[in-house]
Each structure stands twice: as C-alpha cells, then as structure tokens.
Amino acid sequence: RARAHGGGQVAFFEQSMGEHARSRYTLQRELRHAISDQQLELYLQPQLDADGRTVGFESLVRWHHPERGLVPPGAFIPLAEESDLIVEMDNWVLEESARTLARLARAGLAQGISVNLSPRHFSQPGFVDKIRTLIRRHGFAARRLTLEITEGLLLESLGAAQEKMATLRQDGVRFSIDDFGTGYSSLAYLKSLPIDELKIDQRFIRPLPGSEEDGALVDGIVSIARSLRFTVVAEGVETAGQRDYLKRYPGLLQQGYLHGRPMPAPQALLPLLEPLATTH
C-alpha cells in the first residue's frame, strides 16, 4: 500500500520502521541489563482502610535508566511483556517484595504487599513452586502476599491459571483482579474464580462524586463483591471529595495520590517503622 505513494515514501516508511525496531531492540537489551545492573527500584504505594490506616502496599517497579533517567512502567512493561523478560523482571519485584514482607513481619507489623504479575507466569513451569519457595525462604505468612492479575489472563488461559491460583490460595496467598471493569469481564465467571479481591479501575473513581453513572457502577461492583466476600480496593483516589464519597462503603480500601504516591520502599515504610524505633 505504501508503494502506491511512490518510491520516496517507501524508503521513508522502511527507514522509520527500522529505527522503531532498533529502538525497541535497544530498550529490550538495556532492560535485560537493568535487572542485573541493579537499575530497578521497588516503589510502594499505600492502601488505606476506612479509618485511614495503612493496611498494605502495592509494589510498583521503577527503572533508573543510565541516560534516560527514571522510566515509568508504561514505557517498558509493554516491551518486557513481549517476551519472558517480564517474568525475570517480576521475579525481581517478587524477591524485593518478599524481603520487605519479611522485614515487616520481624517488626511485628501486619501490612501486606500486592505484586503485579504478568499472565506469562502462569504458563511457566514451576510457577507454583517458585512462589512457595519464595514464601518459605523469606519466612512470612502467605496471606500477606497478594498477586494482582488482569482480567485478560483469566479469559486467555482460564483452566490452567485457575488451577495454579487455587493451589496457591490453599496456602493462603491472595489473588486480586486489577483494573476491574476495563476488560471483557463477564459477571458469571466471578463466582467461580479463586480470587479474594477486586480493584476498581481509576477511570470509575475519577469522575466521583460528580457522576451519577460512575457512582452507580461503583455501587454495583461493591455490592457484587460484598456478596461474593471479596475485598474491594478503589484505585486512583486523588481528591478529598472522592475519599469522602467512598466512605459510604465500610470495608472498602483506598489507594491513590491523595493518600500517598508510590515512593521508594524505605521511604514508604518509614511512617510504620519509625515509631517502633523511637519507642525503644
């Protein structure tokens, strides 16, 4: 089709394709190094209960690129997801999160950590053993670890993934559906899934409290989740108006810039660990 526009355009088209491919390739190669060169950093964002207490954190990875600076996940997760590179990266995040959970446990703190997992893990042989070994090696209660997955996974490889989830869930590991409401979710499948939590996507939270429609959707999700005994997390809480509106749902957890931005792990843990240090 490009050829119909003449030779010059074809050359231009091919050249820009080449550059595009080259930069993707470069970025992927650099990302591989990032893991071994310790350019990744674990950030944590707090999750709060209705009384404003921090009950847990979500692990969000950051990449300190030697020339580009801090690269946001949106710029490299999709690239990493094209190959098993994402599995390597998530393994690093799992390891760091497990170390943090062990630290919290040693300090007598009960906060949990949620880790985002690419669907690719579920097709890896040894996935279940990897998670079990991680928990045993670091020595924390399995229920402190939540694995966040997206609806896409459940539709792609429903059977195989569900079996692995169910096995880990028997150990106490929790499963959460991230960005809930943005996929092709059928409500029918919710009742049979081995999950513990739904995270309402920020696009439903952002228009609150002004939008009756979004209010109705959130209301529906919360009431379904409640009858199925799932925890619900509202993502992307940015304003006091949203926070106060959501207080009508007693068990609901909130996560968002209003309560705390994702921060380097030591900084995020400081409000919890510092009071312990000063009382002794």
Q: Which positions lie near Mg ion, rule CB under 5 A? A: 116, 148, 178-179, 235
**At its nearest, how many Å lie between ligand C2E and the CB of residue 166?**
21
Q: In terms of DSSP bridges, do strands 263-264 and 40-48 run parallel, antiparallel, or are they unpaired?
A: antiparallel
Measured CA to CA, the distance from residue 126 to residue 133 in angstroms comes to 10
Stretch 97-136: interaction string toward ligand C2E, x if CB under 6 A? -------------------x-x------------------
Among 34, 175, 236, 268, binds ligand C2E (CB under 6 A): 236
Among 27, 31, 85, 93, binds ligand C2E (CB under 6 A): 93
77 binds, among Mg ion, ligand C2E, none (CB under 5 to 8 A by kind): ligand C2E
Among 12, 25, 189, 257, binds ligand C2E (CB under 6 A): 257
Measured CA to CA, the distance from residue 187 to residue 20 in angstroms comes to 40
Measured CA to CA, the distance from residue 162 to residue 194 in angstroms comes to 7
Judged by CB, which is closer to ligand C2E: 116, or 162? 116
Among 96, 178, 196, 197, binds ligand C2E (CB under 6 A): 178
**At its nearest, how many Å lie between Mg ion and the CB of residue 275?**
28
Q: What are the residues whose beta carbons fall under 8 Å from the beta carbon of 146, sequence distance 6 or more?
A: 56, 112, 113, 114, 115, 173, 174, 175, 176, 196, 197
- The yes or no reply on residue 179 touching ligand C2E (CB under 6 A) is yes
Among 27, 31, 34, 60, binds ligand C2E (CB under 6 A): 60
41 binds, among Mg ion, ligand C2E, none (CB under 5 to 8 A by kind): none
CA distances from 59 to 11, 85, 123, 216 (A): 44, 18, 22, 30
Judged by CB, which is closer to ligand C2E: 100, or 116? 116
Is the preceding peptide bond at 250 cis, omega within 30 degrees of 0?
no
Query: Cβ(180)–Cβ(159) under 8 Å?
Result: no
Rg (CA), the chain: 21
Measured CA to CA, the distance from residue 80 to residue 88 in angstroms comes to 9
111 binds, among Mg ion, ligand C2E, none (CB under 5 to 8 A by kind): none
Beta strands in 72-138 (DSSP E): 112-116
**At its nearest, how many Å lie between ligand C2E and the CB of residue 148?**
6
- The yes or no reply on residue 71 touching ligand C2E (CB under 6 A) is no
Among the residue ranges 11-19, 102-110, 125-133, 256-264, the one whose residues contact ligand C2E (CB under 6 A): 256-264
Minimal CB distance residue for ligand C2E: 256
The partner residues of 64 in beta bridges, in order of sequence, read 70
Query: Cβ(198)–Cβ(175) under 8 Å?
Result: no
Residue type, 225: A
Interface ranges with ligand C2E (CB under 6 A):
45, 59-61, 72-74, 77, 86, 90, 93, 116, 118, 178-179, 202, 235-238, 256-257, 262
